Structures are given as C-alpha cells and as structure tokens.
Structure 1
Amino acid sequence: MRFTNKLCAQHLGWMFKKHWQIQGKRVARDTGAASELAKLGIEVKNPKDVLKEPRSKQNFERLVFAEPLITQTAEDAFHPNWHAKPCHVYGDSNVLLEGVAQAQILTKTIEINGFPKNIEETISKMQLNSNVDKNIQNSIMASHVLDAEQVKLPKIKIPERPAFTLPREYGISHNRRRRLLINKLIFECEKLSGSSVTSRRQIFDNAAFNVSLTKDGDLLQFELSADTFMTSAKPIEAVKGKYETELPDLYPIKHTITIPKKNIYTTKNSYPLRSALPCSHPHTIFVHFDKENVKNLHQTPVTTSQFQARNLLKAFTVASARAKQLYGESVEQLPKPIVVQSIQTDGQTFHFGVYQLNTLQLSGLDGIKNYWFHLPNVDLFAECGYKVGRPVLEGYNKDCFRYLKAFYSNC
C-alpha cells in the first residue's frame, strides 16, 4: 500500500456560509462625501424614497364587477350576425365532393381540355437552352433540399398500418418549399421576359378575395385567398370564339353538397386592390395545396378531380371579385369578360388553368356560360431529396416551366 500526503480540506458549503455571515456584519465606512455635499447645500436622500412611488392599498375582496371580464357571444339567434336564411361558405380548406363536375354546376362553367390558342402557340414556339434547365434544377434543389430551415415535419402515416407511429423527421416545411420554389420560378421568368414585360407586372403575397352570390335560391359566400397574386397593367384579352357544351348532371346530388352551411355570417365582396391603381388587373394566381389542411369532410384523400376543382373555384372567385369591383355588386351580365390564370401546386405537382368569366347569372343551366381551360396535372420532378447522404434530383420535366413561362408572358 502506497502512502500519500495528508490532505486538510474543508466543506465548501460551510466555508461560504461562514464567509457571508462575517461579511454581513461589516459596516460601511463614511467616505465624507455626504458632508462635502452638505457644505455645498446639496441634500442627500435615500434612493428608495426617490424611486419608490407611493401606492395606495386596495382590497380586491370587496370589489364587485357589474359584468364579467371575458364575454362570449352565444352561437344562436341572439348573435349580431345571425341570419334566418343559411349561407354556404366555401373556404381555403374545403373541397367539393364531385370535383370538377360539381364546380362546373356551381359556377356555370364549361370545361375545355387545352389552353387557349395564343398560349398553345407560345408554348410550341418556345425554345429554352440548357442553362435555363440548369437554373430550374438548381431552384428545385435550393427550395427542397438546400435551405437552412429545420422544423418538425408532419407525421408520416402508413394506410395499411394506421396505428404504427414512425419517427418524426426534421427538414424544410412544406409551405416554405412551395413559396421558395414559386418565387424562384417567377424570377427565372422575369429574366427571360425582360424589362418590357416585368415592368407591367406586380406581385403580392397572401391576397384575400370575398364574393357573395346567389344560385337557384341558395346563398353562396366564397372566402378564398391567393398565396401569390400577380397583377398586370393591362387585362388579359378574352378568348375569341364560342364554346357550347352541356353541363354535367349531378342528380341526385345537389351542387352545394360538402360546402358548410352557416347561419352566422356576413355577406361581403372585396378585391384586395383599388381599381385606380395602375397595376390592378388580375393576371395569374399561385395557389398552394397542403394535404394537411385541405381535406374531405369524411377524411378521405383528396382526388385529382377535387384538386383541379379547387383551382377552378380560386380563379372564379378572383374574377368575380374583380367584376363586382368594376361593374357593381349587382352585376350579372359582364360588359367585358375577365380572364384569370391560375396555377396550383403542392411543391411537386402543378395544375395550370385559364378561367374566363362571362356572366355571374349562375341560376339555371341555360344562357351564357363561363369557360375553364386546363390540362391534366404535370409533375415538375419525380423525386428530390437525400440519398446516401447526398442531395439528388430525379425525373426533371422541362414542360412544366414552359407552361409557366407562357402564362407569365401572356397579355
């Protein structure tokens, strides 16, 4: 056994305790500053007497409040916005049960598979070099993989195993991916179009639109928003020619099915920009689709037809809000059609459509109808993420950006 030096140690807690007891008994020395100030006629006061404001004590136990501090308005006939006639309110998180067919009946719109002739000619003549494709691929990577944001992503669910819980993943939020991607794609369109076109465009975020309409005795209220709203100094020209097609038959389903019905509501019509502004004409709206927020009432996945119908109703609401601003809230037959382009995306799949509003007389199936030009959904890429620790982009589709560039240049 090895002998070591003897250690003499004290308990640190006991030592600090005794040290504070000794130091607490010290008395402050008189520095003579008070006497010197007294000679100069300066009175020395206690800081507590100067800084502390006198407050009167109040006994709260004896206070009696005439009314409760927090009031809650009853959701019944006594509510100030209560109406005996219910209203069907369609919002950003709603979808239609029958998809495009129901949207056609609801808005009295003819579906046309294909874009207007001028847009198709622009797409056929468009030639993009390899540098543009490289920039688009870099934009996809920057928005889906290379951004610095790290947040908790939504839960991943397996339909075959609904009770199985997978580990939560962290990464770029889906909303930020879509917003970054759209902004970068618009920037590429601006570079290719030049100042002659970009000077006639304005871009706004989170624009809200409200439209109140009546169809076959039912009151409808559309309260929708455009995540990115592009305006132009000149309205888009109406499509030439007439299209005559019968509207689909939904019998026995009514056109307002799955649209929530409310008795407490306010009917209003609003367009986010004043008509006197130089760039107030609607040009293109970009709509985000988030499957976590947009769902069916029966919790089933959103179908392709419902996805496209949501895009149609967004464009219809923007055009209707503009029509009511220009021609009055009671307008039915528009003096001049209003054309709005709409692009909906979930960050990977894009749906392009052009809506022409000809009338707001929605009752019945006869008479003037509105037009909806669109093509099937297009995937910008097949997969974008990490594989073996490296960022990978697979299945890039150049046609998607060609459609977007043609929409941007359309006037």
Structure 2
Amino acid sequence: MNSTDCSKQINGGRRCLSVINAHIQRHTGALSSVRQALWLTKSSLIHGLPSHITSPAAVPENQLLNQDERVQNAIKHARFWDTTEPRPKKEKYSNTLLHNLLHLCATLQPTHPAIGRRILAENYSLAASWKRGDDLFQVRGQNGLLHCSMDPLPRVCGETEVLETSDQILESFYPVSPTIDLQQVNVYKEEINCSGFREGYPYPHAHTLYFLETPDSNSKLRPEQFRAKMIMFTFGNALARAHKLYGTQSVLEHPITVQAVGTNGRIFQFLVFQLNTTDLSEDDGIKNQVWLEEDVELYDFAKVRPLIKRKEVKVRIPL
C-alpha cells in the first residue's frame, strides 16, 4: 500500500483543539454527541439514507444467489466457527463478520465491474485541519479500514439543494461552548491536510470507511459518540481530498462524498457525508450534509446451544 504517515505532531506553535486523535484516545475527551460533530463540521443532518443507496438493494440483479443463506452462514462463521474458544470475543467476531460481508459483496464483481476499481486499505493515517470561528481544529489518526476507489462517489444532492442549505440554522449550544470537552494540543504546522496516501496512488478517492467498536474499556464509546466519530472521520477524509483537489476554493463546484459503516458485530450504523464547502469559520452560508441511518440490526441474537448427549436407560427385569 502506497501510504504515508502524516500524524506526527511537533510541540510548539499554535494551540489547536484536537477533535479526534486516535493515538491519545484514552486521554482525550471524546465528542459527546452527533450534535457536536454537526456543529464542528458545519453540517445539517438528514435522518435515513438517500434513496439511490437503499432502493437498488431491492433489485434482483443486485442480490446474491441464495443471499439470505449466505449471509446467515457469514454470521455463523463469525460467531461460532472461527474460534477455538467457547465464545469468541466481540473484537474477533465483529472483524470477521465485516470481512465476511465484504467478501460476499466482492462476489458481485462479474455483474458490477466498478467493484474491481476499489481496494481495501488498513491503518492509513489521516490528518485534516480547519478553522471554526477563532479556533483551529484538527482530526487525525487511524480509524481502521478504508475502501479506496479509482473513481469518486457521485454527489447526493444537486446544486439547487446545496444552495438551499444556506437557509438552515445550526443548532446552538448556548450557554455551553461546543468545544468545552475538546483537548488542546500544540501544533507546529497549522494547515495540515493529508489523506494518508502519496501522490500518484491509483486509488485516491475515499469511498467507504468501516468502524468497529473498540474492545478497550478505557476508550469505549457510547453509541452516540461512536456515530460522532464516524462523522468526524468521513468529514476529515473529504476535507483532506478537497484541499488536494481545489486548494483554497471554499464552495465546491463538485462536492465530495464519503460513506461510512460502523458495527459492533450485530448492530450497524450507516452514514453518508457530502462536503459542499470548506468555509467553516462562520455559521451562515452553505452547509455540509450528513445522512444517518442508526441502529440497524443484522440479526436478533446468536447463542451457542449446549450439546446434550443422549442418555440411554436400561431396565433390568429379574426373572
């Protein structure tokens, strides 16, 4: 993988508010809510996913042969078969299930050639910075698994709908500051925007980010915090790409879209982020857009049934 480390930080320079820093997550106050993430990214929230993403799932040509059975086998493999222990740990079966489902999706490549123009990248380092009011913010670190693509995702909303976001009002946190629980760090370079991949990488576009719940109890996030983290990393990937393509252009002629999927091995979160503007300093003007589908259950439960051996009772009748 043609990657580069852009997560190094030098003491000194300007004070910066670290929104997400995967390297010091234990000692950093995580975002408290999706509301806070929306304010930080100057975004409006739309509940549910866009119809052009959900409707193709009902088309038979987009479904696998024996799809239900194969998905159930993927779940059984993750929860029961891929372990030597009586019960696999969540970090184990969550990761296995995610890769199993991605493998099933990849089998559609013969009828969907665009799948072959994507590749999975692990442990890439992201860094993105922006100004909100008088404060400088930064999101950086490693979020895990990323689907990179040769082609960018199409925009979700057209130009008219994007312009209409100017009339939307961001939710206020008054009298509490929306940055009250963010950690301050020293940064040597203010304008750092790095996607984690070197120039010339053949898959430069972030397509879908995948998030798994951390097994570490010290850094475990509540569901609302988990979704906020998804927003910040999709935004960070889109912002880094926008600076690469358009430089200082604020309102993007061609918005950048990034998707995200988060799971704990049973419940899934789905998110689509459309970056319309990099002018985030003030509350007015064009807003970015977030589509969020929360708490989608893939299955109800998975339970190992105890093995009961047959007991034969022999009755001896005396003669």
TM-score normalised to structure 2 length: 0.80
What is the aligned counterpart of 1:182 among 98, 122, 142?
A: 98
What does residue 280 of structure 1 align with?
204
Q: Which residue of 2 aligns with 1:146?
A: 81
Q: State whether structure 2 residue 54 is matched by structure 1 residue 120.
A: yes
1:387 to 2:305 alignment: yes
For residue 175 of structure 1, report the CA deviation from its aligned partner.
2.8
Q: CA deviation at 1:185?
A: 0.4
**For 2:144, what is the secondary structure of its paired residue?**
strand
Q: Which letter maps to 1:326?
A: L
- For the pair 1:230 / 2:164, whether they are aligned, the reply is no
CA distance in 2, matches of 1:228, 1:80: 26
Residues 361 and 293 (structure 1), Cα distance of their counterparts in 2 relative to 1, 3 Å cut? farther
Other structure's SS at 2:252 match: strand
**2:5 is matched with which residue?**
none
Alpha-carbon RMSD across the aligned residues, in angstroms, is 2.6
* C-alpha distance in 1 between matches for 2:306 and 2:97: 24
Work out whether 1:372 is the aligned partner of 2:295.
no
Hey, what does 1:320 align to over in structure 2?
A: 239
* Letter aligned with residue 75 of structure 2: I
Structure 1 residues 330-378: Cα deviation after superposition (integer angstroms, max 9, x where no partner): 4533332110011111212110011001111111211011010111221
CA deviation map 1:263-319 (0-9, x unaligned) = 366543211223533322111111112263574xxxxx8443323212111110111
Give, in whole Å, the separation in 2 of the partners of 1:326 and 1:370.
17
Would you say the 8 A contact 2:91–2:215 is kept in 1?
no
Contact 1:88-1:260 within 8 A present in 2 as well: yes
* C-alpha distance in 2 between matches for 1:108 and 1:224: 21
Could you tell me how far apart the structure 2 residues matched to 1:222 and 1:82 are? 18
Give the C-alpha shift of residue 240 in structure 1: 2.9
Query: Alignment partner of 2:211: what SS?
Result: strand
Give the superposition deviation at 1:189. 0.7
5+ residue gaps, structure 1? 1-78, 151-169, 296-300, 391-411
1:224-373 superposed matches below 5 A: 224-241=141-158, 242=161, 243-244=164-165, 245-263=168-186, 267=190, 268-290=192-214, 292=216, 295=219, 302-328=221-247, 330-373=248-291
Shift of 1:220: 0.9
Seen in structure 2, the aligned counterparts of structure 1 residues 208 and 294 have a Cα distance that, compared at 3 Å, is: farther
CA contact (8 A) 1:143 1:181 kept: yes
- Three-state SS of the structure 2 residue aligned to 1:383 is coil
Deviation, 1:326, is 2.1
Paired residue secondary structure (1:353): strand
CA–CA distance in structure 2, aligned partners of residues 206 and 173 of structure 1 = 21
Structure 2 counterpart of 1:88, from 9, 14, 17 = 17
- CA deviation after TM superposition for structure 1 residue 178, in Å: 2.2
> What residue identity is the alignment partner of 1:313?
M
Contact 1:224 1:317 in 2 (8 A): no
Deviating above 6 A after TM superposition, structure 1's stretches of 4 or more consecutive aligned residues are none
Q: 2 CA distance for matches of 1:274 and 1:177? A: 33
CA distances 1:109-154 after superposition (whole Å, capped 9, x unpaired): 010112223113313435746721111111112122222355xxxx
In structure 2, do the counterparts of structure 1 residues 294 and 229 end up closer, same or farther at CA, with 3 Å as the change threshold?
farther
Contact 2:15 2:184 in 1 (8 A): yes
* Mapped partners of 1:174, 1:367: distance in 2: 43
Structure 2 partner of 1:24: none
- Give, as a single letter, the amino acid of the residue that structure 2 aligns with 1:136: V
Q: Which amino acid aligns with 2:53?
A: I
3-state DSSP of counterpart to 2:81: coil
1:199, CA displacement in angstroms?
Answer: 1.6
Aligned counterparts of 2:198 and 2:149: Cα–Cα separation in 1: 13
Letter in 1 for 2:174: Y
Deviates more, 1:113-122 or 1:337-346: 113-122
Displacement after TM superposition at 1:223 (Å): 1.0
Which one has a bigger Cα radius of gyration?
Answer: 1
Q: 2:90, 2:215 within 8 Å by CA — same for their partners in 1?
A: no
Give the counterpart of 1:172 among 84, 88, 100: 88
Higher relative contact order (CA 8 A, sep 6+): 2
Match of 1:20 in 2: none
Confirm or deny: 8 A CA contact 1:96 1:257 kept in the other structure: no
Alignment partner, residue 52 of structure 1: none
Give me the whole-angstrom Cα distance separating, in 1, the residues matched to 2:128 and 2:113: 33
The corresponding residue for 1:12 is none
Question: 1:222·1:317 contact (CA, 8 Å) conserved in 2?
Answer: yes
Task: Provide TM-score, normalisation by structure 1.
Answer: 0.63
Q: Percent identity?
A: 28
When residues 181 and 250 of structure 1 are mapped into structure 2, their CA distance, relative to the original with a 3 A threshold, is: same
